[in-house]
């Protein structure tokens, strides 16, 4: 985040002391909104209480809603992402004797806890029952307490304009347009530039790169030799819808893991955990993606596909909210997500799936899921030991996961070797014996994934890593060549 240099020194009062600097909390001192931080915690811990929020708002007003949400969420200020550049500036201002005041629309008790965490502020003003300290309400309180033109104010949005109008100067956290608005009503003392999340940020949030997993939906067509425009087009539509639905689940998962991700060595850079995207926008996007995927899927591809997608989404949501905390079982659930894609592809084009292929898929994807969990434990061992990882594993479980994962890898290869000699294969391939070459190729690729995991080089989902790995494309090309040779379409 780039900052503009101060235009002048802060103004002083009649006694020659710097004017008090009043600082907003949500979006200014911290990158997020504390009300929505509390909502995310309730969504994870006590989701049934979210149903009471409309009634709290109706009977107790905005301030009463914030108080009741904050009391039930139990937000730990140490899990909040602070604006480091602003914090450094405030620390320097306090060191030279300036009075710092935290004034926020967030719940007053929660604001006091945040102020205590920073150790920077002399006074705190926040929302309490009967008073929502935002916009004009905050301006009136500051005018009555400090006097018009007798304080400077740091804020981040157009809701702060009534306060900037009566402040001696403005400090702005946000984009250029907000700084221009503030400068139109008072002197702009300093601008802490912060742009909102763009397309690239949203692409990371909804995990567009994970849509590559939906290529599995085309596998039934390829194995059954039924590739045609009549089957490919609906399959492509299904891939898109599965991508949208899974993206909605990824957003939900990030919101549920918001606070544990912030303590993780690489997950803390995710858009919601880092504060690049707001929690409110994440909740809206999640609902839009989930509802849109299911509705359009039922309309375009029929009820059978819609049921498979609905079951996948229900399982994925249950996993995000609960199942991922059950050790070992969570990995089997991850494996089922790959199976759902295979079933969806088969349902769209009414292509039967071989029992041999289903058995191979179970062990193959179980191995990859174990590698993912092993890698997470390797990189975040301290987080796992502290119980703050959101999972039920210990660092010492890594060796067991590796044993299960590698054993699953070899079980998949055994099933593949039996499959290539089955009667089903001989009906589809002129030279089925050549398919046996797939076994060393798949075994090599899977063992290489485990080698990366063991070396600490597997920093995300194995399929995602494979997309960035040139050697994986070589293995894929060799596998396609083997299948072409087996069909008899290509001569040796």
Q: What is the residue-wise DSSP string for 102-159?
A: EEEEEEHHHHHHHHHHHT--SEEEEEBTTB--STHHHHHHHHHHH-TTS-EEEE-SGG
Contact 252, 317 (CB under 8 A): yes
- What's the pLDDT score for residue 25? 97
**How high is the pLDDT of residue 227?**
86
Query: Looking at the predicted structure, is the pLDDT value of residue 85 above 90?
Result: yes
Of the options 3.40.50, 1.20.1270, 1.10.600, 2.60.40, the CATH number for the domain spanning 206-487 = 1.10.600
pLDDT band of 340, cuts 50, 70, 90 = very high
* Mean predicted confidence (pLDDT) in 329-346: 93
Element (H, E) at 23: strand 21-23
- pLDDT confidence bin for 223, thresholds 50/70/90: confident
pLDDT at position 9: 60
Q: pLDDT digit string (tens) for 150-160?
A: 999 999 999 99
- Of 6 and 307, the structure prediction assigns the larger pLDDT to 307
Q: What is the pLDDT of residues 417-445, one digit of tens each?
A: 988 888 878 888 888 889 999 999 999 99
In terms of Cβ atoms closer than 10 Å to its own Cβ (0-12, 13-18, 19+), residue 307 is: middle
State how far the Cα of 103 lies from the Cα of 148, in Å rounded to an integer. Answer: 16
> Which pLDDT score, from 0 to 100, does residue 379 have?
80
The answer to whether 359 touches 365, Cβ cutoff 8 Å, is no
What percentage of the chain exceeds 70 in pLDDT? Answer: 94
pTM for the model stands at: 0.85
Q: Shortest CA distance to 336 belongs to which of 358, 304, 306?
A: 358
Residue spans of the domains in the chain: they are: 21-193, 206-487
Thinking of the domain 21-193, which architecture would CATH place it in? 3-Layer(aba) Sandwich (3.40)
| 21-193 and 206-487 have identical folds | no
Residue 7 has pLDDT above 60, yes or no: no
**pLDDT higher than 80, residue 106:** yes
Q: Give me the pLDDT at residue 288, please.
A: 97
Summary mean pLDDT of the chain: 90
């Amino acid at each position: 985040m780039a900052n503009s240099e101060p235009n002048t020194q802060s103004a002083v009062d009649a006694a020659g002391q710097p004017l008090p600097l009043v600082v907003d909390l949500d979006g200014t001192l911290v990158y997020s909104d504390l009300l929505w931080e509390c909502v995310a915690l309730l969504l994870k811990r006590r989701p049934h209480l979210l149903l009471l929020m409309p009634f709290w708002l109706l009977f107790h007003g905005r301030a009463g809603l914030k108080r009741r949400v904050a009391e039930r969420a139990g937000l730990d200020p140490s899990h909040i992402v602070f604006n480091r550049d602003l914090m450094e500036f405030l620390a320097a201002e306090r060191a030279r004797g300036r009075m710092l005041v935290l004034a926020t629309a967030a719940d007053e008790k929660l604001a006091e806890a945040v102020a205590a965490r920073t150790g920077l502020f002399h006074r705190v003003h926040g929302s309490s029952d009967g008073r929502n300290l935002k916009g004009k309400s905050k301006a009136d309180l500051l005018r009555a307490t400090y006097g018009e033109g007798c304080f400077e104010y740091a804020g981040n949005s157009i809701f702060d304009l009534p306060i900037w109008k009566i402040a001696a100067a403005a400090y702005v956290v946000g984009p250029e347009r907000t700084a221009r608005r503030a400068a139109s009503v008072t002197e702009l003392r300093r601008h802490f530039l912060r742009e909102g999340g763009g397309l690239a940020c949203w692409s990371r949030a909804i995990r567009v790169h994970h849509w590559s997993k939906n290529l599995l939906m085309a596998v039934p067509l390829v194995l059954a030799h039924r590739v045609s425009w009549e089957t490919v087009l609906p399959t492509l539509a299904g891939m898109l819808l599965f991508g949208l639905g899974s993206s909605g689940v990824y957003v939900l998962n990030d919101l549920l893991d918001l606070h544990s991700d912030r303590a993780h060595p690489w997950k803390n850079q995710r858009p919601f955990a880092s504060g690049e995207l707001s929690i409110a926008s994440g909740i809206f996007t999640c609902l839009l993606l989930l509802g849109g995927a299911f509705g359009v899927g039922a309309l375009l591809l029929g009820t059978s596909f819609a049921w498979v997608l609905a079951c996948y989404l229900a399982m994925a949501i249950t996993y995000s909210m609960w199942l991922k905390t059950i050790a070992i079982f969570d990995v089997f659930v991850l494996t089922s997500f790959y199976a759902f894609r295979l079933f969806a592809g088969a349902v769209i084009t009414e292509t039967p799936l071989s029992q041999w292929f289903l058995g191979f898929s179970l062990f193959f994807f179980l191995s990859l899921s174990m590698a993912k969990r092993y890698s997470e434990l390797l990189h975040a061992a301290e987080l796992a030991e502290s119980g703050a990882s959101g999972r039920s594993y210990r660092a010492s479980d890594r060796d067991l996961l590796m044993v299960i994962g590698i054993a699953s890898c070899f079980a998949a290869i055994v099933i593949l070797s039996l499959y290539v000699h089955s009667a089903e294969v001989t009906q589809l391939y002129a030279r089925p014996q050549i398919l046996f070459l797939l076994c060393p190729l798949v075994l090599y690729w899977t063992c290489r994934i485990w080698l990366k995991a063991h070396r600490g080089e597997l920093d995300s989902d194995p399929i995602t890593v494979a997309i960035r790995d040139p050697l994986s494309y070589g293995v894929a090309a060799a596998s396609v060549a083997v299948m072409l040779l087996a069909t008899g379409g290509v001569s040796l």
